Amino acid sequence: MNSISTSVYMPTEIEVENISANKIKVIAYPFKSGFGVTLAHPLRRLLFSSTVGFAPIAVKIDGVTHEFDSIRGMLEDVALFIINLKNIRFKIRNDEERVVLNYSFSGPKEIKGSDLENDEVEIVTPDGYLCTINEDAELNFSVIIEKGTGYVPSENIREDLDVDYIALDGFFTPVKKAVYDIENMLVEDNPNFEKVVFTVETDGLISPLVAFKNSLEAMYAQMSVFNGLLDIEVSTSEESENISVEFGKLLQNIEDLNLSARSFNCLDRAEIKYIGELALMNEAELKNLKNLGKKSLEEISQVMEDLEFPVGFEFEDGTKEILIEKIQDLKSETNEG
């Protein structure tokens, strides 16, 4: 009989196996059944979508008006030229996010990726084939290289280009392959634990290990949006014993607001002692305080606005009741003292 667990089992082991310069395996274990794929699937998606890379997004070729054209003296037609261009991997050398590269070649010549390298870009795939031109040909073209993530279709790029450029699909990610396998493993006589085996391959722009780390950072960053929810959970579960740190200022005395003497005295006579009492009041209730003039009303409203707890603040479910109870406790302690 399987023992009953009261907490999530935490994996403890991770290994990295170098298969080649641009290919690794990342192995993590042991995961409780179902947890391996829960983590592996979003990581795989982030590997492709969040890793920064560079790609040609547009090309302009002298004498060419569309991608189905042909060029005199070039073996390939324009469509094949574009396919070959997209397979060549560029890297901008400086911090620029976009560069425009201008090239001019005379034949006879077989043009490869290495021929496109210059002071502005490094070619990660120097042996990548582009085209072949004969002795009578002259090839002049410009390429726009841009920094980005994931994949952007040419339809989304075309509207920002000059009319003489041909828009290209932007394949920015340097990740060529990202797959995972879930293997069963035995832990303490239980054969249903899981081992996650990731295989990651890049085009050489960055190492596969860096790409994997980037995807982890992206996942942590996305998950951080829920950090505020953790604070709310603490405040509601502990109820009156603890008000969230976010509301701690509401339990401070109104003296801490540094109000004018007229405003302070008016609140003091109304037996308002804590800042939270003002946040719990709506504007009509505040206006009805005896001897509270227009200037005092404006002063108090502005101070509460600056605290980010304006008069009539809308509290989360349950938090208002906790605050009221806590203020009552503080007042009771003061009276007993």
Instruction: Give the tens place of pLDDT for each residue, 142-168.
Output: 999 999 999 999 999 988 899 899 999
Query: Could you tell me the two tokens for 209?
Result: 């290990």
The mean pLDDT of the chain is: 87
Which range (134-138, 242-246, 325-329) has the least confidence?
Answer: 242-246
Q: Is residue 4 part of a domain?
A: no
Closest alpha carbon to 49 in 214, 278, 227:
214
In this predicted model, what pLDDT tens digit does every residue of 36-70 receive, in sequence order? 999 999 999 999 998 999 999 999 999 998 889 99
Whether 102 and 149 share a structural domain: yes
The answer to whether position 1 is within a domain reads no
The answer to the question of residue 303 being in a domain is yes
For residue 246, what pLDDT band results from cuts at 50, 70 and 90?
low
What confidence score (pLDDT) does residue 1 get? 43
Query: Residue 239 has what pLDDT?
Result: 45
- Residue 231 has a pLDDT of 56
Residue 240: the pLDDT is 42
Q: Kindly write down the DSSP assignment for every residue of 198-220, as one continuous string.
A: EEEEE-SSS-HHHHHHHHHHHHH
Least confident of 91-100, 222-231, 282-291: 222-231
How many structural domains comprise the chain?
Answer: 3
Answer yes or no: do 121 and 270 share one domain: no
Higher pLDDT, 237 or 251: 251
Structural tokens at position 207: 């190492």
Q: Are residues 76 and 162 in the same domain?
A: yes
Which tens digits make up the pLDDT trace of 190-202? 888 999 999 999 9
CATH number at residue 295: 1.10.150.20
**Cα-Cα-Cα-Cα dihedral sign, residues 177, 178, 182, 186:** positive
Give the containing element (helix H, strand E) for 145: strand 138-149
We report the CATH number of the domain holding residue 117 as 2.170.120.12
Q: Which helix (H) or strand (E) holds 239?
A: none
Tell me, what's the pLDDT at 307? 85
CATH number, domain at 224?
3.30.1360.10
Q: Cβ(132)–Cβ(37) under 8 Å? A: no
- What average pLDDT does the segment 6-30 reach? 90
Domain shared by 35 and 119, yes or no:
no
In a domain, 233, yes or no: no
Q: What angle do CA 92, 96, 100 make, to 5 degrees?
A: 70
329: pLDDT confidence band, cut at 50, 70 and 90? confident
3-state secondary structure of 238: coil
* Predicted local confidence at residue 99, as pLDDT: 97
Say if 188 falls within a structural domain: yes
Q: Give the domain-ending residue among 170, 193, 210.
A: 170
186 shares a domain with 47:
yes
How many angstroms separate the Cα of 188 from the Cα of each of 2, 32, 191, 194, 237?
10, 12, 8, 13, 35
Which one, of 222, 34, 27, 57, lies nearest residue 214 by Cα?
Answer: 222
Same domain, 99 and 144: yes
100/158 same-domain check:
yes
Instruction: Give me the DSSP letters along 222-234.
Output: HHGGGHHHHHHHH
> What is the model's pLDDT at position 247?
62
User: Which of 139, 170, 201 marks a domain boundary?
Assistant: 170
What's the domain range around 124?
53-170
Q: Are residue 126 and residue 148 in the same domain, yes or no?
A: yes
Confidence of residue 123 (pLDDT cuts 50, 70, 90): very high
| Phi–psi pair at 288, nearest 5 degrees | -80, 0
- pLDDT bucket at 137, cuts 50 / 70 / 90: very high
**pTM of this prediction?**
0.62
Please say which residue of 152, 170, 188 terminates a domain.
170
> Would 128 be classed as within a structural domain?
yes
Establish if 8 belongs to a structural domain. Answer: no
Q: What is the mean pLDDT of residues 79-88?
A: 96
Query: In degrees rounded to 5, what are phi and psi of residue 77?
Result: -80, 175
